Structure 1
């Protein structure tokens, strides 16, 4: 931890410019301030440090020995800031695009199509991170995210990518114990397994014309893989994308207990802060993923 308080940055800028020019007037012109303002900043810095940085002789100004020793680290610090800022600014245009996505969507839909994106945008390197939590764009270093839900995310731009077929599934032992449901309404009496938002089951019952549902209890999971494991363990009936449980259905580990439904309100959405809408690499990814989803919905 730094024991001494950081000197004022404006005073450090005045020192570096004056030391480089050995002229208060030229430093003032570079910094777009008056010579008097530069002189005041230099005095502030010397008072802050408790040392003399310049000799003032007639109308000339020269560095003291302490000033000469102080200049290289100050100049190097400003150089590092400039270089780091340039790298960040450049990264906004090209470089790495970090995409946060659920592991299921990444493996089932995104990854098999990435070759096309890379061929069309060779200057952008995708960094795909799998995460089922909500993203803090200001902290997590994520440029865009793809999430499954209703598409309402305050402060974020949201673009519907695609909806998926949803199928109610349960473990055979649960079906044997409760009996195969004769109608969708029968499932209101079953134990349920939920996703993190706990809204999908209510939407599904509404889509089936079942209005009086009441509270639906049961565990919820923010990870689709854990939700599948809970359903496999017989903890309840779950609503899952058909493609996600195709293997388990084919092998008899899970049983479909009602018809597949397309919940239009629930879909995968591309989201990012509204202020980033026009950034080139985000715009390129947005165009590509929306075009790819449209082609998947309407193949030639």
Structure 2
């Protein structure tokens, strides 16, 4: 069947809302994720893409088992517009920057932003008052080059393709609980605690308790002892509220431990090989990005 292509003038511009929605869907493969990035509803994204398809007279996106994929026409169209769309983003960021300030984009997880970076930004303001940082907080691994993001702080083993990484700090995972909860278990050994007490499980990290226990020779807690929470932040808050024992990530919980709202009563060796890294696209850094990159490295102690 031949495709219907409407007759349009040479200087015709498709609706920009449709272009934005299609661009984000092409980047993320998901209407939900595209909606999160544009701060609209997923149904709005779908409507905008369908309107763009109607305007152009071609199918750009197809749904395969719940995930969106570009058609051949969609891939060709995205390849042609991604450069101009990136330039529009760069121009927008430049025009939005405050006069005399350099705008830098950094992507990192919400937990790392709240637990480590935000308390340190006052030092950045004192040290580099001309730098303005735009935080992109997400658990998704952002494609820095395609999405025009300058830097990322990532958790892992330091192996991400097409990036240059610099170690920022090691992560040490420790069982944490409220002081009140610690009193209820007295001098109970950790192996016994894991058998008898409620364990708070962060579902964003697959089988976190299982991996942690296996690395240290403990029997993982039974399924009926685990209380699942959707984010790391909720898990740590539940621990502060005395609901059970959680796995805290140092340095993210250091301030809570220092404040006495959490405690880590079990002295265990570090058996993990996970850390935080500053990642950037391969290639030369702008001078302002390098200054921010180097400042991040001064904060690791």
TM-score (norm 1): 0.51
Q: For residues 132-180 of structure 1, what are the alpha-carbon distances to aligned partners after superposition, in whole Å with 9 as ceiling and x for unaligned? A: 4443546765332223444444554433211255431234675577x34
Question: Does the aligned pair in 1 maintain the 2:201–2:228 contact within 8 Å?
Answer: yes
Question: Does the aligned pair in 2 maintain the 1:203–1:263 contact within 8 Å?
Answer: no
Residue in 1 that maps onto 2:192: 186
Structure 1 ranges of 4+ moved more than 6 A: 88-91
Residue in 2 that maps onto 1:142: 149
Describe the shift of the 1:175–1:192 C-alpha distance in structure 2 as closer, same or farther (beyond 3 A): same
Q: SS of the counterpart of 2:299? A: helix
Decide which of 251, 254, 261 is 1:243's aligned counterpart.
254
Describe the shift of the 1:7–1:106 C-alpha distance in structure 2 as closer, same or farther (beyond 3 A): same
Q: Distance in 2 between matches of 1:182 and 1:84?
A: 60
What is the CA RMSD across the aligned residues, in angstroms? Answer: 4.5
Residue in 2 that maps onto 1:205: 213
Q: Distance in 1 between matches of 2:92 and 2:191?
A: 55
Q: Distance in 2 between matches of 1:238 and 1:89?
A: 40
Q: SS of the counterpart of 2:234? A: helix
Gaps of 5+ in 2: 13-83, 96-100
Residue in 1 that maps onto 2:276: 268
Describe the shift of the 1:124–1:258 C-alpha distance in structure 2 as closer, same or farther (beyond 3 A): same
Residue in 2 that maps onto 1:98: 105
Describe the shift of the 1:290–1:109 C-alpha distance in structure 2 as closer, same or farther (beyond 3 A): same
Please tell me whether residue 5 in structure 1 is matched to residue 8 in structure 2.
Answer: yes
Alignment of 1:69-88 (within 5 A): 87=91
Residue in 1 that maps onto 2:174: 167
Decide which of 113, 117, 135 is 1:110's aligned counterpart.
117
Residue in 2 that maps onto 1:292: 299
TM-score (norm 2): 0.51
Q: Distance in 2 between matches of 1:122 and 1:256?
A: 37
Please tell me whether residue 125 in structure 1 is matched to residue 132 in structure 2.
Answer: yes
Aligned length: 212
Q: SS of the counterpart of 1:5? A: coil
